[in-house]
């Protein structure tokens, strides 16, 4: 009976542990993603995990995150810097990200691994305060300029009327096409997991 009871307790513990890490298949809302990724350190964690699907050790993760934060190499990270990052990752950031299913954190073994949600996150830094380029305002300005140009041509205002309508149409079409291409390029390079370092560092002054 003792062995049977012990086996039942073991199975119950395994079931409880599985339930604790069970994550719904429903996609995260924009609010949930923003809540997690508004913190720079957590964005750095996602950046690191999206570069390699293999489980990573907390120590290695802390070393790389510290290097990004302090703008130095892996070898240049001091023990104090690494410890500071290690502690906050272990106690705060990783448990929060684990609870949302963005990653899986085994605190006993000190291992972090990506999940389907890690790979599916395609958020770029327009959602992060302070990093947004005003694309909406740019398109609005271009639309206003196009309307003003159309009105000028209709009123035959010199010297705009010296050029044909087809010429101006080509200019406007080219302007919007080039701007849209630049927008796509910018968005692609600002996505987490693109490149060898976080997009914030790639586009920092």
137-188 pLDDT, tens digit each: 888 888 898 898 888 888 888 888 888 888 988 989 988 899 888 877 777 6
Average pLDDT over residues 5-32: 52
The domain locations on the chain are: 2-122, 135-189
| pLDDT category of residue 189 using cuts at 50, 70 and 90 | low
- Residue of 102, 105, 36, 45 lying closest to 69 (CA atoms): 45
Q: How many CB atoms lie within 10 A of CB 34?
A: 14
The tally of CA atoms less than 13 A away on the side-chain side of residue 200 is: 20
Average pLDDT over residues 71-96: 95
Q: How high is the pLDDT of residue 199?
A: 62
In angstroms, rounded to a whole number, what is the distance separating the alpha carbons of residues 12 and 106? 19
Whole-Å CA distances, 127 to 52, 55, 98: 24, 28, 21
Residue 204 in this model has a pLDDT that exceeds 90 = no
| pLDDT category of residue 72 using cuts at 50, 70 and 90 | very high
| pLDDT category of residue 15 using cuts at 50, 70 and 90 | very low
| pLDDT category of residue 125 using cuts at 50, 70 and 90 | very low
In angstroms, rounded to a whole number, what is the distance separating the alpha carbons of residues 57 and 59? 5
């Amino acid at each position: 009976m003792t062995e049977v009871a012990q086996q039942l307790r073991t199975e119950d513990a395994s079931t409880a542990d599985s339930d604790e890490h069970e994550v719904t298949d429903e996609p995260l809302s924009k609010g949930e993603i923003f809540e997690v990724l508004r913190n720079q350190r957590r964005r750095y964690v996602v950046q690191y995990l999206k570069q390699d699907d293999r489980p990573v050790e907390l120590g290695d993760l802390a070393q790389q995150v510290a290097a990004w934060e302090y703008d130095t190499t892996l070898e240049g990270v001091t023990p104090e810097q690494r410890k500071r990052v290690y502690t906050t990752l272990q106690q705060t950031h990783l448990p929060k990200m684990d609870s949302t299913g963005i990653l899986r954190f085994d605190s006993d073994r000190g291992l972090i691994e990506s999940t389907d949600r890690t790979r599916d996150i395609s958020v770029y830094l327009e959602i992060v305060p302070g990093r947004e380029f005003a694309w909406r305002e740019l398109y609005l300005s271009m639309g206003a300029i196009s309307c003003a140009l159309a009105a000028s041509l209709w009123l035959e205002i010199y010297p705009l009327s010296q050029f044909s309508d087809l010429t101006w149409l080509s200019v406007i079409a080219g302007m919007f096409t080039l701007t849209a291409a630049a927008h796509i390029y910018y968005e692609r390079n600002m996505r987490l997991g693109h490149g060898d370092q976080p997009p914030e560092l790639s586009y920092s002054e």
